[in-house]
Structure 1
């Protein structure tokens, strides 16, 4: 029985004249792309391409197959998108599989998408993990701070998040000393998301033009837990402003100097084939309607 994905891989190879280029365009591995082609050729009983050095040349059978199936597949994909967009075509609202960092989803994304008539299957993870899920078609859309050069993936900017130095509310310091003396900051007990001081490293490079030369006192791979650690007096850290709003209002933490901050861009990433999807467009528009958090 022929798998629909074999046809899509065949079309990609035909257009790119290369298995490796087709694999990149479809965000697949080259062996998986080759397996799709081999399986399709086995079912049809004839080769569809002549394997030349660095080039795939369609056979007469390959040309004939391409001419026949491309209009059918394009029509099928357009019909599917239209059915999803037309609420009268189904008793269920459309489903979007969304990947996001947990903290950003809860504090920023969720308030914006909660009113949409769209069902969400949400997965949490770090940037690399979410990108892998997108490549494998395990999610439709991810929220990420990393913008790669992989072909076949589109990026839409959502917002610039701000990071500030956060301390316990009763933390003792002299503002003028902190503003000028990098050594004073480096001598504090730092809570970090990882050994390489992510976020803290970006802050240090922006304001001190160098990498931080200290080690974190505590490693806690969860931003919300880092915030709770700061509230308990375990140390200080650099956190996004959207995460600390409630703690600031309750006077559990304070910002060391709000005029100094680092920025990080949040992108929505999705496969290029989803670019014209009305459902994805609706989600993107909702995500971009974010309000400026308290800093």
Structure 2
């Protein structure tokens, strides 16, 4: 019967290039590596590497085997990492998913003080929910609630979606149309402006537009940048419009590099949830992170006064 360790050894030899390097990576002796390889070659009935004094060069059969097993081996190694029993002396590692902006504004300054290891991933809510459900994430911050029965959601804050513009933007006509509540004219005027959005998520713009005009945006943003922070930097002391969460804008509004154009009507608010698995292995660590996020969530009086 084939030994799955032969495949692991084969994979490491293929990637390391020599028997000695593979032995070092696997923490076994070089004769042990040679034995695994010769056993696998005997099982396969073909030579998998051409040997020379400097490097192990995969044969055509060896390359075919590597390409066939690599995805499966990576999955098994990921499962090994996730499910192996941790020693009491080892710090636990908690994997968290959230937006890049929340990480930068709320959590980044505190990670060096955490009493456990942290792995952070950025992504959209559907993908993070899937990763939470399959065990590769332990906690996420999401505005979307999924249908998975093993996930627990707890609301912790809200974000309001607002329309901002650079302080060099001439908004006199816009303000006149807004005072008249002329929605068709407002929509047409905004369609002809310079727009910024993020590369990974246009849902904020779509939701704001749908609430205000009962339609999806009919324009293509001129500038698509990596993050909301990039939008704020690019728009500051310039022209253009963007739809962003309110908690990100306090500093820029206070410094008057941007200005609030409209808080929408009806207002668009998202509830942010802590989501975790009901049978999480890290309840104390997750509670620690939730407390940090609750305590340090930005409440900016500048934004609140403009929205009132």
C-alpha distance in structure 1 between counterparts of 2:221 and 2:119, whole Å:
35
- 1:284 paired with 2:290, answer yes
- Aligned runs of 1:125-164 on 2, under 5 Å? 125-164=123-162
Q: Match for residue 236 of structure 2?
A: 231
Following TM superposition, by how much is the alpha carbon of 1:255 offset from its aligned partner in structure 2, in angstroms? 0.9
Any stretches of 5+ residues in structure 1 without a counterpart?
A: 1-76
Aligned residues: CA RMSD: 3.1
- Say which of 256, 260, 267 aligns to 1:255: 260
Quote the residue 1:264 is aligned against: 270
Q: CA deviation at 1:184?
A: 1.7
Alpha-carbon distance between aligned partners in 1 of 2:107 and 2:159, rounded to the nearest angstrom? 12
Cα displacement (A) at 1:145: 1.8
Distance 1:265 1:115, change over 3 A: farther
1:62-81 equivalent positions in 2, closer than 5 A: none
Match of 1:177 in 2: 177
Q: Which runs of 5+ in 2 are unaligned?
A: 1-82, 304-308
The total of aligned residue pairs comes to: 210
1:45-124 to 2 correspondence within 5 Å?
90=89, 94-110=92-108, 117-124=115-122
Match of 2:62 in 1: none
Identify if the C-alpha distance between structure 1 residues 192 and 259 changes in structure 2 by more than 3 Å, giving closer, same or farther: closer
Distance across 2 between alignment mates of 1:94 and 1:247: 38
| Residues 167 and 239 in structure 2, CA contact (< 8 A), matched pair in contact too | no
Secondary structure of residue in 2 paired with 1:199: helix
Question: Of residues 215, 218, 226 in structure 2, which corresponds to 1:210?
Answer: 215
TM-score (norm 2): 0.58
**Rg (Cα) greater in structure:** 2
CA 1:262–1:275: 2 relative to 1, 3 Å: farther
